Amino acid sequence: MAGRGLELALMPNYFSDEAEADIDLHAALIRRAQAGERAAFDQLMEMHQQRVVTLAWRLLGTREDARDAAQEAFLRVFRHLHKYDARYEFNGWLYRIVVNVCRDMLRQRGRHGGLSLDEAAVAQLASDDDSEADALAAQERAWLQCALAELSEKERAAIVLRDLEGLPTEEVARLLGSSATTVRSQISAARQKLKAFRARHLKSRK
């Protein structure tokens, strides 16, 4: 039980609303997957697929890129699962892999931090949804991607993890392999740009 206490003490509180039984189930799944059980790994994928795809979409901007990044991230999880230390939060470890995969993809495709979304794509995304509410939500998401596209790669990763994923600044710094001071600076610069983008966006609507 002492080990269990240590494990819980080291975990950042991502799942404050989850029952302890779910945490036990999750830990057991990881142990089975580490032992090479493919069915357990499939279950892990199902549990985390939405989180992984959403983060990849926020960092890369398109559905196809998000799918490719999620696929590569899960492959890396499988290959390196034996190195995962169960005393630490699995989600933090997973986030780090997804962030690294997205960085690699951006560099390989020569985008240098820029997203591929433009205003025409925004209009297309908005028109793909059936209902008016869905269309508005899709348009907002598209504008969000346009706003994120104005940020540098590091600024975007910092603001996505801090504001959209809701992680503490210190945890964001750990995931990005940077200092908390640097991350605060990146977040500050990102918010300046987002504020300016939103002001332009609101002005163009009127």
Residues contributing to the site for other proteins (CB under 8 A): 38, 42, 45-46, 49-50, 53-54, 57-58, 63, 67, 70-71, 74-75, 78-79, 82-83, 137, 140-141, 143-144, 147, 159, 162-164, 169, 184, 187-189, 191-192, 194-195, 198-199
Which is nearer to other proteins, 2 or 182 (by Cβ)? 182
Helix ranges (DSSP H) in the chain? 2-10, 20-34, 38-60, 63-80, 90-108, 119-128, 132-149, 153-159, 169-176, 180-205
Which is nearer to other proteins, 67 or 96 (by Cβ)? 67
Burial class (CB in 10 A: 0-12, 13-18, 19+), 11: middle
CB of 15 to other proteins, least distance (A): 17
Which is nearer to other proteins, 26 or 58 (by Cβ)? 58
Q: Which of 88, 19, 89 is nearest to 51 (CA)?
A: 89
CB of 30 to other proteins, least distance (A): 15
